[in-house]
Amino acid sequence: MCACVVLVVAMVAAINLAVPMLAASALHPSASTLVWIVDTYVIFFACLVIPGGAAGDRFGRKGVLLAGLLLFAAGALLSAVAPNVAVLLISRAITGIGAAAVLPNTLAVLLHAVPAERKGPTIAVWASMTGIGGVVGNVGGGAVLSGGSWRWLFAAAVPIALVLAALVARVAPVSPRHDRRLDVPGALLFVAASVALLLGIVQGPESGWGSAVVIGGFAGAAALFAVWTFVELKVEHPLLDPRLFRVPGLRGACLGMTTVFFGMFALFYVNASFLQYGMGFGVLRTGLGIIPLTVPVILGARHVGRLAQRIGVDATVALAFVFVGAGLLGLSTSDAHTTYLEYAAWLVATGVGVTLALPTLSAAIAGSLPHAQAGVGAGLQATTREFGSALGVAVISTVLTARFVAALPPDVREHDPHTVAQALATTTRTEDVVAAFISGADTGFRVVGVAVLVLGVLVVVQSLLSRGGRTPAAR
């Protein structure tokens, strides 16, 4: 079960390493298309993880888990052989749907399989796999991509998923089913609203912020989220009950989880290109280059609970956002002359913030809900993590692209390039193109860092409000 979690989470991180290869590939993707290649998987994963768990309850967790692994393998295989961008985007969506069926049902199968006295340690081990998955995605993805083609990344996932499916079929127990109806309209509306929001963000630099597609994306997102809220309030078994967000502690913790992953995956998206373009790293060294971020997580996670008891939850959360925001702002000072040791120091600072935030916010989400709604809490954590990841990639890519184009020399800019690969195809002035990219990356880190700090203030305020008075739902 843990290997299944690592596989689907690793794919979220690994694809960022392939961005420079994809940009220079025969597919000739635009800057916005690169974001969609990364985010299509993440957004389907985020929006369907709760329905994936509900489907397991209704149709059988083992069966849905197996179906998810096979769907993941099929989507990865189709990605590996995709002849054009359209097929690649469709296959990424299929892979994301498979991942959404896998993640929640691994925990459900585990909890059914182990005795009551082992459930607590089992949940802790399962939860730690999401962090390990990010490391495996970067290091393993770097090793696979060192073969020279982005297609190898998807091809390598196919046999792993099939082997895991065979193991699940052999060893996983069959658990009882529950006759609970699936909220299909709610799931479809949530996906549509999320895609519309990302469309507005991602297409801004290329289509223009006043263009019909951008305005339509934002307007469509607002309308679809409103309809989704109305539908969820009326349906008997909602995908996600909006009334839950009346609880200030839950509202703040969910915003905090979204913000942490917003910052972390914005970093992942730019880090891979920065190390390759700005520092001249190969893809394997790039995969290894993110490891300083994970050192505080590995060494410090078990001590966070004691720290929160000593200085308080609010102070711990505030400290977490200070470190994440400061780390990103520190990275925004990097340039072609920055040493990797300096760069790694800011990664460590960001990692300290992530280490402080994740267990504290996870506990806050779980503690804001009645025990009977523990499954809803787990689904909320998965949804907020992946949704924040998708937004982080979209926002930093949008800022980076706009600044990159503006920083290019006029004779290069007149060819309207939006990626480093497109710019290099029109000029031999590599240093100017790389300098423009670094300028865009620095601006992106700065914007995301400030956003993390501002949102962190809102999270702490919500937490303070939740201390002032809990609603009956919270109790």
DSSP 283-316: HHHHHHHTHHHHHHHHHHGGGHHHHHHHH-HHHH
Distance CA 148, CA 169 (A): 34
263 closest CA partner among 456, 460, 130: 456
Are 52 and 25 contained in the same domain? yes
> Which of 34-48, 106-120, 307-321 has the lowest average pLDDT?
106-120
Say whether pLDDT at 117 is over 80.
Answer: no
**Contact status, residue 206 vs residue 418, Cβ threshold 8 Å:** yes
Are 359 and 279 contained in the same domain? yes
Distance CA 384, CA 395 (A): 16
347 closest CA partner among 330, 322, 361, 367: 330
Residue 242 lies in a domain: no
pLDDT of residue 375: 59
Residues in the chain: 475
Are 177 and 189 contained in the same domain? no
Q: 274: which DSSP letter?
A: I
258 closest CA partner among 125, 105, 385: 385
**Contact status, residue 207 vs residue 401, Cβ threshold 8 Å:** no
134 closest CA partner among 266, 303, 302, 5: 5
In CATH, what number is assigned to the domain containing residue 263?
1.20.1250.20
Q: Which two tokens stand for residue 109?
A: 């199968």
Q: Which two tokens stand for residue 176?
A: 């009882």
Tell me the backbone φ, ψ of residue 282, rounded to 5 degrees. -75, 170
Are 19 and 39 contained in the same domain? yes
Question: Which positions ≥6 away from 67 have C-beta within 8 Å?
Answer: 98, 101
Are 227 and 351 contained in the same domain? no
- Sign of the alpha-carbon torsion through 53, 55, 59, 63: negative
Angle, CA 164 vertex, CA 158 and CA 165 arms, to 5°: 90
pLDDT of residue 470: 47
Region for residue 280 given its phi and psi (left: phi exceeds 0; alpha: psi -120 to 50; beta: otherwise): left
Say whether pLDDT at 221 is over 60.
Answer: yes
Say whether pLDDT at 278 is over 80.
Answer: yes
pLDDT of residue 376: 65
Say whether pLDDT at 473 is over 60.
Answer: no
**Average pLDDT value for residue range 117-137:** 76
**Average pLDDT value for residue range 188-207:** 84
Percent of the chain with pLDDT over 70: 94
Are 299 and 398 contained in the same domain? yes
Are 195 and 274 contained in the same domain? no
Residue 8 lies in a domain: yes
**Average pLDDT value for residue range 160-186:** 85
Q: Which two tokens stand for residue 14?
A: 């690994």
Q: Is residue 326 helix, strand or coil?
A: helix
Are 94 and 196 contained in the same domain? no
Say whether pLDDT at 175 is over 80.
Answer: no
- One-letter amino acid at 435 equals A
pLDDT of residue 108: 82
CA dihedral 83, 88, 90, 96 (to 10 degrees): 150
Q: Provide the number of structural domains found in the chain.
A: 3
Distance CA 185, CA 91 (A): 23
* Per-residue exposure over 273-292, b if at least 16 CB sit within 10 Å of its own CB, e if not: bbbbbbbebebbebbbbbeb
> pLDDT tens digits, residue range 417-466?
888 888 888 888 888 999 999 999 999 999 999 999 999 999 888 778 76
Are 277 and 320 contained in the same domain? yes
Distance CA 451, CA 337 (A): 27
Are 178 and 188 contained in the same domain? no
Are 94 and 126 contained in the same domain? yes
Q: Which pTM value belongs to this model?
A: 0.85
Are 192 and 281 contained in the same domain? no
Q: Which domain holds residue 274?
A: 247-475
